[in-house]
Structure 1
C-alpha cells in the first residue's frame, strides 16, 4: 500500500497529514504529488469532485514554499467563495507545522478592506476568486513578481461561469517562467485552450475515465407526475431517517420556495443561492456543516465548492440542463472513499436525459419506487428504536431520578412500556401515512398530498408588517422560525413572506393573526422593539398568488436537529439563542 511517506513529502507536512487522520493517499494524490514535487513542469490533472485534489496540489505547493520570503509565491484560482475558503482552510491545516506561513483568501461578497490589510502584511499563498482578485490587481495592491506556481482549480467550472477573460487578465500579470498546474473534472475546448496558451508540454494525468462518476455512488431515479414531485421528495426524505443531504434545483427562486415549504412541513432545511449575502451564506453553511440542517436546498453555482463530510444523499429535484453538471452534483456525496446515493426525481419526459447521463458517467441508474406509507413508517419506527438502543446513558445524571421513574412504570409490563414508547413519538407518522397514495407514475389516482396543497391554498390570509428585514441578517427561513417561535404557531399558518431591507411583510391565516399580534407585544430583537401591524394596503391574498411561493402540503409537525450519533432526533420547538437572530433547540 502506498503511503504519504513514500511520496517524498517533508516531515512537517507528514505530521500534519497524520493529525488530520489521512492514512493513505487517494489515486489523484498518489499519482500527482511525486510529479508536482519536481516543481518545474506544468501539469494537467483530470479528476472528479471529491477525489482529494486540494491535497494533491496543496501539499507539493507547501513543500516547495520558501517561508523566509514574505512574498506571494503561490496563486490558486477557483470559481466560488465556498471553494476558496475550503482550500484556504485545508492549506492552513496542512501547514500547521511549517512555521509562519500566511495564506490569504480573496473573494467577493465581503470587505475588500480586510483582505487588502491581510495582503499588506505579506502573503505566501493567495487563494482567490477571479472577480475579486482583478479588483485588487486594478488597485495595485498585490505584487506577483515572485509567483512561482499558479494553480487553476475546477478550471472547467470557472469557464462555465464566464471567467475566461478574467483568468487571462490575471495570468498575464504573473511571470512567464512560473509553473502552472490545472485541475479540472472535464476537458472542454476552452480548458484545452487555456492549457495550450499558458503551459509548455504539460504532464497530463487522468484519474478514472473522463467525465465518469465516483464508483462509490449509487444512482437512482423515481418517476412521478410533475404535480407529485414535492410529495415524493418528502416521502424519500422520510424513508431515509438518517439523511444528511443536498437537494439541487435549477433556479434561485425554486430553491427558496422548496426550502421554505420544507421548513413549514417540519424539516430542518434552508436554501443556498446567489441572492443571499455573504453573511447569510456563511450562516447557512455553518448550520449545514454542524448538521443543524437536515437538508440544504441549493443551485448548481451556489453549491460549487461545498466540501462537507458525510453527505449521504444528493437529490436532483430537477435534472441539470448540462449533463456534466450532474457529475458535479453527485460528487457532493461519497467523498474521501465513502459511499453515497444520488437520486433524481423525474417525470416521464426526462427518461431520455437519464439515459444520456448513464452514457456520460458510465453507470446505470436503478429505477426505484417511491415508498408507500407502510414502508416509510417502518423505516421511521426502527430508526427510532435503533437510536434508543444505542443511546449513551449518563448514569450519574439520571440516577437521582430513577426511583421515581421506576415507580411511575411499576404497573406496566416491559411490553406495555415498549408499546407506549413507540406510540409516543410515532403516532403522528402513522396517522399521516395511513392512507398515503401511490405516487409512482404508473398509478392513476390523485394523491392526498395534492389535495392537501389545494386545501391550504384555499384559505384567506391577513397581510402583516414587521419592522425587521434582511439588514437584521434574516433569511425568509429565519423570519418564518422567528414568527412561529414568538407567536406560538405552526409554520403551516404562515403564507407568503416578502423580505425587504429594514422591514418585511408576511401573510398569516386569518384565525391566527390576533395570536401573532399578541405574541409580539413585548418582543425585542438585538435591543430593538419588534413591531407587528396589519398592512395598510388591506391586501389579503392567497399564498402563491402575485408571485408568492407554492405551498406543498402537510407533514407531522416535528422538527429535527443533528445528532452526533447519526440521524436526526425530534425536537418540539425552537427558542431564541439571544444573538445574531439565530435559533437553538429549546431544552426541557
Structure 2
C-alpha cells in the first residue's frame, strides 16, 4: 500500500500526519492527492462521510501553497460553521511543521471584526461558509482575485441549504484560471448541475459507488405506532448499554423536545440545533466528542461538522424528507473501519419510504423487533456483571475499611451477596420493565387497513377547522397552531387532512372539551383570520369517495355539515412521547 510520502507529500507534512496517527492514505486520498499535485484540471470527487475528504483536498494544496505570499490562494467553502471550523483546524494540524502557512475560518454567528483583522494580516487559505464569505467580499475585506484553488466541500448540502445564489456570487469574483475541486458524499442532479456550470472538463474520481451507503453500516427498522415512537426509542437505548449515538430529528423543535425528554428520564443526552448560540453548540459538541454524552439529538444541518469515529448507532427518530440526507446520517457511523448500525423508527404507513432508500444505498433494511423488557433487563444485567468483573481494585485505599465491611456482611453467603449487590443498580430496570407491554404486538396496526390507511380510531376525536391550503396551512403549521393553545402536555395528534378552505385533524378524545375551550377562550387567529374549531364525526365510503357525517352541535347549538375527506389526503402525526410508567433514572455513565 502506498504511503503519504510516496504520494508526493513533503517530509514536514508527513511528519505532522504521523503525529496525528495517519498511517496509510484512504481510497479517496490515494486518488485525489496525486491528481491535484500533478494536474491543474478541475476535479469532481465522490467519497462517503468519514473517508478522509478533508485531507484529500487540503494536503495537496498545502504541498503547493506559496508561504512567501500573504495573498489568499485557496478558498474552501463548506455548508456549516462547525464543518468550516473542523476543516480549518485540520489544516492547522496538517501544517504543524510547515512554516508560514496561515489559515482562517470565516463564518456567521460570531464577531466579523475579528475575522476581518485576521484577513488583513494575510492568510493563504480561507475556509468559509457561503453567507459570511459573500459578506466579506461585499465589504471588500476578502479578495479572491488571485486564488489558485476553489474547493466546494459537501456540495450537496450547500445546495440543500439554499446557497446557490451565494455560490454564484463567490464564483463571479474568482479568476478563470483556477482549479476547482468539488467533493460530495452524494451526487444528486443538483450537484451534477454545479459541476456542469462551474467546472471545465473535470476529472471524476469515486471512492465507492455514488450515493451508495457504507459497507460497514447495517440498516435496521422498527415498526411502531405513533404514540409509541418515543417509548421504542428508549428501549433501543436501554438494550444497548454502551450506546454512543446521534438521534436525528427533522426540526429544531422536535430535536429539543426529544432531548428534554431523554434528559428528564435520566439519559446522558443533549440537543444540537440551529437555535443554540455558537458557544452552546461548541460546548455540546465538545462534550459529545469526549464521550461525556452518550446520546446527541440533532438536526441534519447541525451535525454536519461533527467528526466522531466511534459512533455505535445512528437513529432516525423520523426519516428525512430527502433520500440523500439518509445517506449522510447513516455515514456518521461505521467510520474508520469500524462497524455501525443505522436505525429507522417508522410507523406502518411509513414503511414504503424505505424502498427508495434501499435502492440508493444498495442495501436492504432488516425488520427488527422492538426490544422486550426481558431482553433489556438481560443486557443491562450482563453489562453490570462485566463492569464488576473488570473493575480495578485499589487495595491500598480500601484495606482500612474492609474489617468493618466484613463485619456488616457477616452471615450472608456468596449467593446472597451477589444477588443483593446486583440488585442495587439493576432493580430500577427490573421494576420498570417488569410489566412493560410488548410493543411488537398488533397494537401498531390498530386503525390501519390493508392499504395502510387509517380507519376510524375510537381513541381519537376528529375536529373541523375553518382554514386550509388557501390560507397557506400545512400539517406542520397546523400542529404548531394546536400546540400553541397548550391543550395538554404531550397530547397525541392523529390524522390531518388539509383541504382548500378548511381542514380536519384528530386529537386524543380525552381532550375534546379542552380543545374547544382553548380555541374559544384564546380567540385564535391564523394570518389575521379568526379560527373556528368544532368536533365532527366522519364515516368513510369507498376509495376516493365523498364521505358523509355531521359535526356535533357546538355551544351555540347550531348543527353544521361535514364536507368530508374526498380527494388527495395528507397526514402528519406528532409523537405523544408515550411509554407508560416513569422511566428508570439511569446512572450517568
TM-score after normalising by structure 2:
0.75
Gaps of 5+ in 2: 447-488, 491-521, 523-573
Secondary structure at 2:218 match in 1: strand
What's the offset of the Cα at 1:239?
A: 0.3
Secondary structure at 1:63 match in 2: helix
Contact 1:46 1:184 in 2 (8 A): yes
What's the offset of the Cα at 1:412?
A: 3.1
What's the counterpart of residue 174 of structure 1? Answer: 174
Contact 1:257 1:549 in 2 (8 A): no
Q: Is residue 2:282 matched to residue 1:277? A: no
Q: 1:387 to 1:140 in 2, by over 3 A?
A: same
Distance 2:349 2:320 in 1: 14
Q: 1:104 to 1:64 in 2, by over 3 A?
A: same
Deviations 1:505-541 (A, max 9, x none): xxxxxxxxxxxxxxxxxxxxxxxxxxxxxxxxxx9xx
Secondary structure at 2:344 match in 1: strand
Distance 1:404 1:220 in 2: 51
Distance 1:359 1:326 in 2: 12
Distance 1:353 1:256 in 2: 25
What's the counterpart of residue 240 of structure 1? Answer: 240
Q: Is residue 2:101 matched to residue 1:136? A: no
Give the superposed CA RMSD.
2.2
Q: 1:31 to 1:397 in 2, by over 3 A?
A: farther
Secondary structure at 1:7 match in 2: coil
Greater mean alpha carbon deviation, residues 192-201 or residues 166-175: 192-201
Q: 1:370 to 1:396 in 2, by over 3 A?
A: same
What's the offset of the Cα at 1:308?
A: 1.6
Contact 1:52 1:336 in 2 (8 A): no
Contact 1:261 1:552 in 2 (8 A): no
Greater mean alpha carbon deviation, residues 194-203 or residues 259-268: 194-203
Greater mean alpha carbon deviation, residues 132-141 or residues 304-313: 304-313
Q: How does 1:116-155 map to 2 (within 5 A)?
A: 116-155=116-155
What's the counterpart of residue 259 of structure 1? Answer: 259
Distance 2:436 2:264 in 1: 20
Q: Is residue 2:352 matched to residue 1:333? A: no
What's the counterpart of residue 304 of structure 1? Answer: 304
Q: How does 1:465-544 map to 2 (within 5 A)?
A: none
Deviations 1:453-511 (A, max 9, x none): xxxxxxxxxxxxxxxxxxxxxxxxxxxxxxxxxxxxxxxxxx89xxxxxxxxxxxxxxx
TM-score after normalising by structure 1:
0.75
What's the offset of the Cα at 1:551?
A: 5.5
What's the counterpart of residue 321 of structure 2? Answer: 321
What's the counterpart of residue 558 of structure 1? Answer: 585
Distance 2:126 2:254 in 1: 35
Deviations 1:93-112 (A, max 9, x none): 11111123221111111111
What's the counterpart of residue 292 of structure 1? Answer: 292
Deviations 1:319-372 (A, max 9, x none): 111111110111111122211100011111111111211111000111100011
Q: 1:444 to 1:11 in 2, by over 3 A?
A: closer
Distance 1:209 1:290 in 2: 32
Q: 1:78 to 1:334 in 2, by over 3 A?
A: same
What's the counterpart of residue 90 of structure 1? Answer: 90
Contact 1:257 1:550 in 2 (8 A): no
Contact 1:223 1:441 in 2 (8 A): no
Distance 2:50 2:190 in 1: 23
What's the offset of the Cα at 1:414?
A: 3.0
Distance 1:139 1:266 in 2: 49
What's the offset of the Cα at 1:232?
A: 0.4
Q: How does 1:284-433 map to 2 (within 5 A)?
A: 284-433=284-433
Contact 2:225 2:444 in 1 (8 A): no
Secondary structure at 1:151 match in 2: strand
Deviations 1:169-195 (A, max 9, x none): 112212211111100122333322322
Greater mean alpha carbon deviation, residues 231-240 or residues 275-284: 275-284
Contact 2:228 2:575 in 1 (8 A): no
What's the counterpart of residue 440 of structure 2? Answer: 440
Q: 1:134 to 1:400 in 2, by over 3 A?
A: farther
What's the counterpart of residue 515 of structure 1? Answer: none
What's the offset of the Cα at 1:550?
A: 5.5
What's the counterpart of residue 457 of structure 1? Answer: none
What's the counterpart of residue 15 of structure 1? Answer: 15
Q: 1:57 to 1:240 in 2, by over 3 A?
A: same
What's the offset of the Cα at 1:444?
A: 6.8
Secondary structure at 2:255 match in 1: helix
Distance 2:174 2:219 in 1: 43
Deviations 1:285-328 (A, max 9, x none): 12211212221111112222221221111111111111111101
Distance 1:3 1:391 in 2: 40
Contact 1:154 1:183 in 2 (8 A): yes
Distance 1:444 1:161 in 2: 35
Distance 1:321 1:382 in 2: 39
What's the counterpart of residue 189 of structure 2? Answer: 189
What's the offset of the Cα at 1:559?
A: 4.0
Secondary structure at 2:66 match in 1: coil
Gaps of 5+ in 1: 447-494, 497-538, 540-547, 562-568, 570-588
Q: 1:556 to 1:352 in 2, by over 3 A?
A: closer
Secondary structure at 1:167 match in 2: helix
Q: Is residue 2:185 matched to residue 1:158? A: no
What's the offset of the Cα at 1:272?
A: 1.4
Distance 1:444 1:106 in 2: 49
Question: How many positions carry a matched residue from both structures?
Answer: 465
Distance 2:218 2:301 in 1: 23
Greater mean alpha carbon deviation, residues 422-431 or residues 49-58: 49-58
What's the counterpart of residue 477 of structure 1? Answer: none
What's the counterpart of residue 217 of structure 1? Answer: 217
What's the offset of the Cα at 1:198?
A: 2.7
Q: 1:423 to 1:131 in 2, by over 3 A?
A: same
Secondary structure at 1:304 match in 2: helix
The structure with the larger Rg is: 2
What's the offset of the Cα at 1:430?
A: 0.4
Q: 1:397 to 1:9 in 2, by over 3 A?
A: farther
Q: 1:559 to 1:374 in 2, by over 3 A?
A: closer
Contact 1:294 1:560 in 2 (8 A): no
Distance 1:437 1:193 in 2: 51
What's the offset of the Cα at 1:223?
A: 0.6
Secondary structure at 1:22 match in 2: coil
What's the counterpart of residue 4 of structure 1? Answer: 4
